[in-house]
Amino acid sequence: MIRGIRGATTVEANDEGVILEATEELVKELITRNHLLADDVAQVLITVTEDLSATFPAKALRRFSDWVYVPVVCAREIPVPNSLPMCVRLLLTVNTDVSQAEIQHVYLREAKKLRPDLTASNR
């Protein structure tokens, strides 16, 4: 079965190191909480708000040696007025037998505001 797993985090600066560190932290949490193997990940879509342009956050996934062949693409979020700034969002498409209710979506830092209903499940 194919499922989507969401995650988001924020950064404090439009800086390559800061963006990659936050993205790596988010990916580690997604992997840990959902017991993910790279071979089960069909693709990853990463979006950033328009105020983040210092790097491609996808570079953070290449820090995981077994994720080298996972297809990743970066895009820009729609600039909705008053939306959360300095935000990196991920959508992983994975093959899993886990039910939709058992998926652990991960929202870190200020991104917890995006989905407070799911943040409660961030144990």
CA distance 9 to 109: 6
pLDDT at position 101 is: 92
Q: 91, 98, 79, 81: which is closest to 115 by C-alpha?
A: 91
Q: Which CATH superfamily is domain 2-119 in?
A: RutC-like (3.30.1330.40)
pLDDT at position 120 is: 56
Alpha helical stretches, state H, the chain: 16-34, 116-119
pLDDT at position 123 is: 44
CA distance 44 to 73: 7
Per-residue pLDDT of the chain (123 residues; tens, 9 = 90+): 999 999 999 999 999 999 999 999 999 999 999 999 999 999 999 999 999 999 999 999 999 999 999 999 999 999 999 999 999 999 999 999 999 999 999 999 999 988 878 765 544
> Is-contact 50 84, C-beta < 8 A?
no
**Catalytic residue annotation:** 6, 62, 74, 77, 89, 107, 115
